[in-house]
Amino acid sequence: MDVEQIPLHFGQHAVDALTHVNLSAVRTDGPCLWIAGDETATVERLTADGTGYGKHITFHLADVLTLPGGPEDEVDVEGLARRGPYLWAIGSHSSRRKRIKAKHDGDKAVRRLAQVTDEPSRRIVARLAIADGPDGLPTIVPETPGGHTSALLPGGITGILADDPHLAPFLAIPGKDNGLDVEGVAVHGESLYLGLRGPVLRGWAVVIELLPYLDKARDVLKLASLDGDGTVYRTRFLDLDGLGVRDLCPAGTDLLVLAGPSMDLDGPVRVYRWHDALDGDAPRIVRAPALRRELDLPFGDGDDHAEGIGLLDEHRLLVVYDSPAATRLIEPGTVLADVVTL
């Protein structure tokens, strides 16, 4: 596998927030990259600067949306998708179990492991309006001059899954325990595709298709019926060799699927190509030859977790990492991303 590395330069405010070492999503947009970290309530924009990407700008989601938590509550953005006048951002929707840290032992450690928190701030499906700024670069705004508005899907997707025969039992389980954990998003036409890191069901990963639209009276997103019978979502099940979805990236009518373990493990990490996933008639059970293992990505021992992919061109894929290895942190505020050849 051919691997090139390019630097991503972040401003001091993002370094202070540790955004550059918690990257969870990336999307290309002309000369720009949209990037998210999973510990903030922001979206970052980097612009090509000759050697890599820099000229860092941060956009606070609370400036354009009324978030379900406080304006600074961690949103845990795990996926970004760009199409037309919008950038889509998806939260993990997952509950969280407390960690046992090195300083914890005995009864205190046991008690922490029993503590699970449900965080509404993570349950966002956000459509962010994009307009050209004074410098001609894409900017997140509440409303564009053409009337396109930023909006949220109230409550995210957990409500619609409450009676789902496959996913409902996992809604209360923390994401790192193979519970519900959204970690990828792609958009094609009017359809939104959400990839689940968990649950993985007897080795099958899950992708959810939605058809969101704007309720102009309430200025919020709603979900249209997919089949004319009131069904507002559709599930598809992918044979990713037991792995869950870490990101989704459109490539024509195909979807590139970044796959990794659903649990808190280092690897394996792979990219699959889901042929004709976006043509509207993809089957609900997806296996070879419709699903092809494209390449294997490197992973570390406790670090270098591939979390986001974005196409730079037809043959080159950008990969960003959560918990990057020390060798990727070449100077303060700069982290190396990988560019791999498909």
Per-residue pLDDT tens listing for the chain (342 residues): 789 999 999 999 999 999 999 999 999 999 999 999 988 999 999 999 988 999 999 999 999 999 998 887 888 999 999 999 999 999 999 998 888 888 888 888 899 999 998 889 999 999 999 999 999 999 999 999 999 999 999 999 999 999 999 999 999 999 989 999 999 999 999 999 999 999 999 999 999 999 999 998 889 999 999 987 889 999 999 999 999 999 999 999 999 999 999 988 888 999 999 999 998 778 999 999 999 999 999 999 999 999 999 999 999 999 999 999 999 999 999 999 999 999
Quote the pLDDT of residue 279: 85
- Contact by Cβ (8 Å): 304, 297: no
* DSSP secondary structure string for all residues of 235-285: EEEEE-TTPEEEEEEEETTEEEEEEE-SSS----EEEEEETTTTSS---SE
Is the N-terminal amide bond of 268 cis, ω within 30° of 0?
yes
CA dist 62 and 57 (Å) reads 15
Using CB atoms within 10 A of its CB, is residue 52 exposed (0-12), middle (13-18) or buried (19+)?
Answer: middle
3-state helix, strand, coil in the chain (%, to 5): 10, 50, 40
Q: Any residues with CB less than 8 A from the CB of 70 and at least 6 apart, and which? A: 121
The amino acid at residue 242 is: G
Q: Decide if 330 contacts 336 (C-beta within 8 A).
A: yes
DSSP conformation class of 103: T
- pLDDT value of position 106: 87
User: In whole angstroms, what is the distance from residue 95 CA to residue 81 CA?
Assistant: 23
